[in-house]
């Protein structure tokens, strides 16, 4: 009963790089704390706490979360509705009828561009749903398909 | 009708007031908080204030001078702006309602404020803050007439008669809030809390100016009279604030009437500040019934309309009260006269018994650390905080009891409770998306959290029920999905 399409394999790489970036910030803070500890004779447990965080965070944000998230992420665009499944510890399933879709966009940040990926943003009158990291061609095709299927009248918000 | 016109000069005053309102907080930060600064001569502060005030007045005057409105080629045109010239042209068929209201200042000068609302809430609408009543009625009539020529968008003819015509209003009025009811509503509302916290914030701002220490120096014997007197005084002060808050609510919602025409709901209210809101019925997305802690046991509720429109500038237009206070048993009949599409008597499915333990657990997990901290730091009185535990369990039970969902025809109803019970009733064709989530723990118990989003104001309103049977979630999902694209209409 799960939606059938997965997002791009390369999404995993992108998420891992994102994790690496956020970890490096933590590491910089750790080093700063270490320096301050030595200069101002602080107690060492503050630094200890940062060290523990610096070890746990990479495991979570680089190894565990991206892979779980990627395994969970599925989507399917049928002719009457869009069905999205996401989540890490909480499985989240969203249904958007085609007639509710107001417009579709594809977006690309620098990281996604490097890997030839794009995210697809689907807006209804009240909500915004994002399918992250699809292959560029696939994203474009999806955008065309959805905007062709979605024929929304102005009146029927 | 076509040559550009200015607003009434009173608009200058309104501009000043608006700017002052916006500047209150920065002003406090600059002037009040620093108090007496050493090293700065005493004449600097008054001079700075004088310059600010002068700039305000000049700016307000220039804004009035530059603001013109006109009606040309089926468009309502506004040109404004002092440094940056803005032109806003609104096509008549984009206008979906025209509201006329009167603030205190407008009433003194026998003027009205005209609000032109367009579809789509993100951009601000046209506001003429001070024009003559006759002028407002002329604009209204003109636009209505122009629009009614356009068969696509018929506008009722009697709308402009509604305003200022008491007899017409009486005959077609479908809901009136009587004064005693209003008092009950104001007395049971949560506005008191807002009032008190506002008062406290205000006093703390002036903490440095008001020499409390000096005032109380002479009253040391008075303090010595003991805690009982002080407690009584505090209670009296609270009572006074409560009465004031209640009165201000009553004044705000006095003479509350709802009038229904073919296409629109017109809500008017206010004693000192008259307001009128026009809501096109086809823009209504759903209704929200709120029952707060005090009102629920009394069988009373407040009903709001969720509608796609309103503007960010006007917070009032984002959450619209349809019935400030109504007995729940009368709700069905009253609503039938206004929005017959919405049923309030549908069969509710409550959430399964095995969800109760999860509700209790969630609350207890939050409360244990709090109790722990209070016991640890507040011995021996901290042990009193153990009383929070049964309270938390009771609260969880109430939340469990009031959660539920219902489907009848094209309507979905989701009820949940935080402090107040919220019931959101939505039409299928108005629900933008449905989501259901299950955590690992919920999955084990075959429960899930369901939520549905509708558009409301410029954002969205979400109805959510936690720990529904997973089977029921699938049921709601299959009810929601369109069989064919046709049944959307």
Which strands, in side-by-side order, build the sheet including B257-260?
B173-176, B257-260, B264-269, B275-280
Range from A80-89, B284-293, B380-389, B474-483 carrying the lowest mean pLDDT: B380-389
d(CA B71, CA B91): 10
Number of residue pairs across A and B with CB atoms under 8 Å?
Answer: 77
Kind and range of the H or E element at B436? strand B433-439
pLDDT tens for each residue of B367-419: 888 888 888 887 777 777 888 889 899 999 999 999 999 999 999 999 999 88
Q: Three-state SS for B91?
A: strand
The residue-averaged pLDDT of B50-66 equals: 88
Chain A contact set for B318 (CB, 8 A): none
- Position B469 confidence tier, pLDDT thresholds 50, 70, 90: very high
For B378, the token pair is 């507040």
Contact: B433, A99; criterion CB under 8 Å: no
Nearest C-alpha neighbor of B113 from the set B95, B126, B123: B126
Chain B contact set for A99 (CB, 8 A): 482, 485, 488
If phi over 0 gives left and psi between -120 and 50 gives alpha, with beta otherwise, what is residue B24?
alpha
pLDDT tens for each residue of B350-376: 999 999 999 999 999 988 888 888 888
pLDDT tens for each residue of B154-184: 444 344 444 444 444 444 668 888 888 888 8
**What is the pLDDT, as a whole number, of residue B50?**
84
Range from B316-330, B364-378, B453-467, B474-488 carrying the lowest mean pLDDT: B474-488
**What is the pLDDT, as a whole number, of residue B158?**
40
Where does residue B217 rank: exposed (0-12), middle (13-18), buried (19+ CB within 10 A)?
exposed
Please indicate if any CB of chain A lies within 8 Å of the CB of B445: no
Q: Three-state SS for B302?
A: strand
Whole-prediction pTM value? 0.76
d(CA B304, CA B321): 4
Chain A contact set for B459 (CB, 8 A): 126
- Largest alpha-carbon pair distance within chain A? 68
Contact: A96, B433; criterion CB under 8 Å: yes
Helix axis angle, B10-27 relative to B44-66, nearest 10°? 140
Where does residue A15 rank: exposed (0-12), middle (13-18), buried (19+ CB within 10 A)?
buried
Between the CA of residue B5 and those of A144, B66, B135, what are the distances in Å?
47, 10, 11
Burial B402-414 (b: 16+ CB within 10 A, else e): bbbbbbeeebbbb
pLDDT tens for each residue of B214-246: 555 555 555 555 667 777 877 888 788 888 888
Calculate how close chain B gets to A85, using CA atoms only, in Å. 9
What is the 8-class DSSP label of residue B457? T
Strand partners, B5: B69
Contact: B489, A156; criterion CB under 8 Å: yes
d(CA B185, CA B473): 36
**What is the pLDDT, as a whole number, of residue B41?**
67
Q: Three-state SS for B343?
A: coil
Chain B contact set for A131 (CB, 8 A): none
Chain B contact set for A156 (CB, 8 A): 429, 488-489
Range from A67-76, B146-155, B277-286 carrying the lowest mean pLDDT: B146-155
Where does residue B362 rank: exposed (0-12), middle (13-18), buried (19+ CB within 10 A)?
middle
Contact: B488, A99; criterion CB under 8 Å: yes
**What is the pLDDT, as a whole number, of residue B413?**
95
Please indicate if any CB of chain A lies within 8 Å of the CB of B152: no
d(CA B199, CA B299): 31
Please indicate if any CB of chain B lies within 8 Å of the CB of A39: no
| Residue A140, preceding peptide bond in cis (omega within 30° of 0) | no
- Position B311 confidence tier, pLDDT thresholds 50, 70, 90: low
Percent of chain A with pLDDT over 70: 96
Please indicate if any CB of chain A lies within 8 Å of the CB of B122: no
Which of A87, A126, A129 is nearest residue B455 as measured by Cβ atoms? A126
The structure tokens 């096109």 sit at B280
Chain B contact set for A95 (CB, 8 A): 433-435, 477, 480-481
- Comparing B226 with A62, the larger pLDDT belongs to A62
Where does residue B444 rank: exposed (0-12), middle (13-18), buried (19+ CB within 10 A)?
exposed
Which of A87, A90, A157 is nearest residue B283 as measured by Cβ atoms? A157
B168, B161 Cβ separation under 8 angstroms: yes
B75, B85 Cβ separation under 8 angstroms: no
Please indicate if any CB of chain B lies within 8 Å of the CB of A125: yes
Averaged pLDDT score across all residues of chain B = 80
Contact: A127, B308; criterion CB under 8 Å: no
Nearest C-alpha neighbor of A73 from the set A134, A139, A148: A134
Kind and range of the H or E element at B416? strand B411-417
Interface test with A, best of B91, B306, B433 (most A CBs within 10 A): B433
Phi, psi of A79 (to 5 degrees): -75, -15
The residue-averaged pLDDT of A119-139 equals: 90
Chain A contact set for B432 (CB, 8 A): 96, 100, 124-127
- Position B152 confidence tier, pLDDT thresholds 50, 70, 90: very low
Provide the chain A residues 59-118 that lie in CB contact (below 8 A) with chain B. 80-81, 87, 89-100
d(CA B449, CA A7): 25
């Amino acid at each position: 009963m799960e939606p059938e399409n997965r997002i791009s394999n390369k999404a995993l790489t992108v998420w891992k790089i994102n994790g690496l970036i956020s970890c490096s910030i933590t590491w910089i803070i750790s080093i700063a704390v270490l320096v301050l500890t030595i200069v101002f004779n602080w107690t060492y447990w503050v630094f200890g706490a940062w060290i523990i965080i610096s070890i746990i965070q990479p495991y979570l944000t680089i190894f565990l979360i991206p892979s779980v998230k990627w395994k969970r992420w599925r989507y399917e665009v049928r002719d009457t509705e869009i069905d999205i499944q996401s989540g890490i510890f909480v499985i989240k399933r969203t249904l958007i009828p085609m007639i509710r879709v107001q417009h579709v966009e594809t977006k690309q940040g620098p990281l996604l561009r490097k890997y030839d990926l794009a995210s697809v943003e689907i807006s209804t009158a009240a909500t915004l749903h994002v399918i992250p990291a699809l292959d560029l061609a696939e994203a474009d095709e999806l955008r065309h398909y959805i905007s062709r299927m979605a024929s929304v009248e102005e009146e029927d918000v | 009708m076509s040559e550009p016109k200015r607003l009434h000069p009173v608009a200058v005053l309104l501009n000043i007031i608006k700017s002052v309102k916006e500047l209150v907080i920065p002003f406090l930060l600059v002037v009040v908080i620093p108090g007496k600064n050493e090293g700065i001569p005493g004449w600097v502060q008054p001079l700075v204030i004088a310059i600010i005030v002068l700039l305000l007045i000049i700016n307000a005057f220039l804004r009035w001078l530059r603001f013109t409105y006109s009606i040309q080629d089926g468009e309502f045109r506004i040109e404004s702006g002092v440094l940056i010239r803005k032109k806003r042209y609104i096509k008549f068929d984009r206008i979906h309602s025209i509201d006329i209201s009167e603030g205190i200042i407008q009433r003194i000068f026998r003027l009205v404020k005209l609000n032109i609302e367009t579809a789509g809430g993100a951009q601000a609408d046209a506001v003429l803050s001070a024009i003559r009543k006759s002028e407002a009625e002329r604009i209204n009539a003109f636009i209505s007439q122009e629009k009614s020529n356009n068969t696509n968008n018929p506008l009722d003819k009697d709308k402009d008669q509604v305003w200022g015509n008491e007899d017409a209003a009486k005959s077609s009025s479908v809901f009136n809030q009587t004064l005693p009811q209003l008092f009950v509503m104001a007395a049971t509302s949560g506005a008191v809390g807002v009032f008190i916290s506002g008062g406290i914030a205000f006093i703390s701002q002036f903490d440095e100016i008001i020499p409390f220490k000096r005032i109380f120096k002479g009253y040391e014997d008075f303090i010595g009279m003991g805690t009982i007197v002080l407690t009584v005084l505090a209670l009296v002060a609270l009572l006074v604030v409560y009465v004031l808050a209640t009165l201000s609510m009553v004044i705000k919602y006095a003479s509350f009437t709802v009038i229904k025409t073919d296409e629109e709901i017109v809500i008017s209210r206010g004693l000192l500040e008259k307001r009128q809101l026009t809501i096109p019925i086809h823009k209504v997305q759903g209704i929200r019934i709120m029952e707060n802690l005090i009102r629920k046991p009394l069988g009373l509720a407040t009903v709001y309309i969720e509608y796609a429109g309103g503007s960010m500038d006007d917070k009032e237009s984002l959450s619209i009260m349809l019935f400030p206070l109504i007995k729940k048993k009368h709700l069905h009949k009253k609503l039938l006269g206004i929005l017959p599409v919405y049923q309030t008597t549908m069969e509710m499915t409550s959430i399964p018994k095995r969800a109760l333990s999860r509700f209790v657990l969630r609350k207890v997990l939050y409360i244990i650390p709090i109790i722990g901290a209070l016991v640890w730091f507040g011995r021996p009185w901290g042990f009193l905080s153990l009383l929070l535990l049964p309270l938390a369990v009771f609260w969880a039970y109430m939340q469990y009891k009031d959660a539920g969902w219902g489907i009848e025809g094209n309507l979905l109803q989701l009820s949940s409770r935080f402090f107040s019970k919220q019931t959101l009733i939505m039409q299928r064709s108005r629900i933008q998306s449905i989501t259901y989530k299950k955590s690992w723990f919920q999955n084990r118990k075959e429960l899930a959290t369901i939520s549905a989003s509708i558009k409301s104001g410029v954002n969205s309103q979400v109805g959510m029920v936690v720990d529904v049977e997973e089977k029921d979630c699938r049921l709601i999902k299959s009810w929601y999905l369109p069989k064919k694209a046709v049944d959307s209409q």
